[in-house]
Amino acid sequence: MEYACRALAQLAKYHDGRTLTRLEDLAQREAVSANFLVQILNDLRRSGLVESRRGKAGGYLLARRADQISLRQVVEAVDPSLLQCSVTRDGDSGAAVRLAWEQVSHSLQNSLGQITLDQLATKQGDPMFYI
């Protein structure tokens, strides 16, 4: 999940709808193995979050604007099991425990839905200048 978010944040930083980012550049900027990253990017491509072009001038770019892609969509593309509540209703306490975990799951889904890639792409460490 982390690497998917990092790769997408990089693509969002340079997103203009046309410019491709090479796999090697993404891997280098985020200190991730290119072989590992390509697997993640394939999941994101199959989910319609990124587009890819093959060849010498190939690479990756966001399929739509960064403010239109939420972290929830990223989770759904890479590891949808994180959004599912797998707690059973078994036993005397099962129903109450399941209800609690369903509420946690719902809160997580809502929170992830409110965070978009453009928020990840802003440079948090940049100095602020006050006039």
Which CA distances in Å does 58 have to 7, 23, 50, 53, 128?
Answer: 16, 9, 13, 5, 36
Residues 6+ apart with CB under 8 A from 84: 105
Q: Are the C-beta atoms of 109 and 43 separated by less than 8 Å? A: no
Name the residue range of residue 18's domain. 2-121
Q: pLDDT grade, residue 60 (50/70/90)?
A: very high
State the chain's mean pLDDT as an integer. 89
Tell me if 130 is assigned to some domain. Answer: no
104-122 tens-digit pLDDT: 999 999 999 999 999 998 8
Condensed to tens digits (0 to 9), the pLDDT of residues 23-46 reads: 999 999 999 999 999 999 999 999
Task: Establish if 59 belongs to a structural domain.
Answer: yes
Give the total number of structural domains in the chain.
1
Closest to 10 (Cα-Cα) out of 46, 37, 39, 48 = 37
| Cα–Cα distance, 37 to 55 (Å, whole number) | 18
